[in-house]
Every structure is written in C-alpha cells, then in structure tokens.
C-alpha cells in the first residue's frame, strides 16, 4: 500500500511568512510523529500524536510552531513568522505500534 | 543530559569487508534503542528495536547488539547497496515518539 506522503516536497518562503506542511500517514496508523533534520544535525523530535490522547508537544522549539491532526489521520505542521533558523527538512512518520516505523521523504523548507 | 553519539562519522569499506558501527548513549532510563537506514533525499527506514542488554536482532547482512552503554550494528560481507547513512536513536521517556537521534554514520561500500 501507499507509504507516508508529505507535501510539498520543497518550500521556499520569505522570512516572516507563515507556512503549512502536510503529512498523510499510512491508513490505520494511530501514531504520527514530526521531526526535523537540519544540516549536519541529528533528527530533532517536534511532536507526537497517539490516537485520541493529548499530543506530546515537548519538542516544539517555540510558540511559532504548532501542529494538528484531524480525524486521526492527516496532520498539518504550521510555522508562523518563519525565521532563517527554521530552514531544515521536516519529516513525518507514522506507526501502528511503538516506534516511528514509516517515514515520509520530508519537506525541505528554505527560509530566505 | 541525555546524549547519543555515533562513530565513526563516515566509513568506507570494500565489498565483502565486514565491520561494525557504534552507537554509545548516556541516558537516564533507556526504554528502547532503534536503528534506521537513511538514503539520500529519503526519510529513515526502520531496521531494528532493542530493549535490553544482551539482546540481538538480525536482518540479512545486518546484526544489531545492545549493552548497557552502547549498541553495535555489525555488517557482514557488505554490498554496494548497503551504502547509506545509519542512524541510531534512543527512547528515554514515556513518550514513544520522543526519540533522541545520533548524527549517523555514513557508510560507503565500494565494489
């Protein structure tokens, strides 16, 4: 079946603009994760959704970052008033069990 | 502070030359250790989960082992298609999604 789908694959935005990144998880997966990967750095946890439980938002770097998961499926990561340090690859993963098992190919965000 | 360190940063092997990648961790209360493979321009691909010291997992030419301070990913008789960046991550809290990743080891296997 289809894997985790992320859109857009690339996004260039001006500093100060808001951006929305979309993730379509594998159908039936109850867990959904967002990470970001900056050049030369390891993956950094952002947020974790599991079923109907309150999400774990402990990795969001500032209040400019937020995420929603509608109907237990599609998720949107929103970054408001983007800064140059937000430039990174944003990765989404989903899972039917514990660990993030299936990752999308990511959205490469460039803030100019 | 919880930390995951992978070594070496890069490794070049000849096809058939076996070797090991290291992932050392200093964390308070390990709940699980994960290995992933990442190809350029792609998201990580899950390989293994290890939960307790002494545990081993195998898949084709790869074998992962775990001690109380580190994990090894052994690659036996590698092929060029094994070339990728290998990532190690640990779960330390109750949140299953909150993983701490190392920076990875970039493996190149030459024919």
Chain B interface includes A60 (CB < 8 A): no
Domain of residue B94: give its range: 3-110
Chain A interface includes B41 (CB < 8 A): yes
Q: Which residue of B has its CA nearest to A43?
A: B101
Cis previous bond, A78, omega within 30? no
- Partner-chain contact B44 A103, CB within 8 Å: yes
What pLDDT sits at residue B97? 81
Report the number of distinct structural domains present in chain B: 1
A83 has pLDDT over 70? yes
Q: Which residues contact B86 (CB under 8 A, 6 or more apart)?
A: B6, B21, B35, B36, B37, B38, B47, B73, B104, B105, B107
The CATH number of the domain holding residue B103 is 2.60.40.10
What digits encode the pLDDT tens for the residues B47-100? 999 999 999 999 999 999 999 999 999 999 999 999 999 999 999 877 778 899
What digits encode the pLDDT tens for the residues A29-42? 999 999 999 988 88
A70 has pLDDT over 90? no
The percent of residues above 90 in pLDDT, for chain A, comes to 81
A74 has pLDDT over 70? yes
What pLDDT sits at residue A1? 52
Name the CATH superfamily, with its identifier, for domain A5-98.
Immunoglobulins (2.60.40.10)
Q: Which residue of A has its CA nearest to B102?
A: A42
B10 has pLDDT over 60? yes
- Partner-chain contact B101 A100, CB within 8 Å: no
- Partner-chain contact A45 B98, CB within 8 Å: yes
What digits encode the pLDDT tens for the residues B27-62? 888 889 999 999 999 999 999 999 999 999 999 999
Q: Give the distance from residue A53's alpha carbon to the nearest chain B alpha carbon, in angstroms.
A: 11
């Amino acid at each position: 079946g289809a894997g985790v789908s992320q859109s857009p694959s690339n996004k260039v935005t001006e500093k100060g603009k808001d951006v929305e990144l979309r993730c379509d998880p594998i159908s039936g997966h109850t867990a959904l994760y967002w990470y970001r990967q900056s050049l030369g750095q390891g993956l950094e946890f952002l947020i974790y959704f599991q079923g109907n439980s309150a999400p774990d938002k402990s990795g969001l770097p500032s209040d400019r970052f937020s995420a929603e998961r509608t109907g237990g499926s599609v998720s949107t990561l929103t970054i408001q008033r983007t800064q140059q340090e937000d430039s990174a690859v944003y990765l989404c993963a989903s899972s039917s069990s514990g660990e993030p098992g299936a990752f999308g190919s990511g959205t490469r965000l460039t803030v100019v | 502070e919880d930390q995951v360190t992978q070594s070496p940063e890069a490794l070049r092997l000849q096809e058939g030359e076996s070797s090991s990648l290291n992932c050392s961790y200093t964390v308070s209360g390990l709940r699980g250790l994960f290995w992933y493979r990442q190809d350029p321009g792609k998201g990580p691909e899950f390989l293994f989960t290890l939960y307790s010291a002494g545990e081993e997992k195998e898949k084709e030419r790869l074998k992962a082992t775990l001690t109380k301070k580190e994990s090894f990913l052994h690659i036996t008789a590698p092929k060029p298609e094994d070339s990728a960046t290998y990532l190690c991550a640990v779960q330390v809290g109750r949140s299953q999604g909150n993983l701490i990743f190392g920076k990875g080891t970039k493996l190149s296997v030459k024919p």
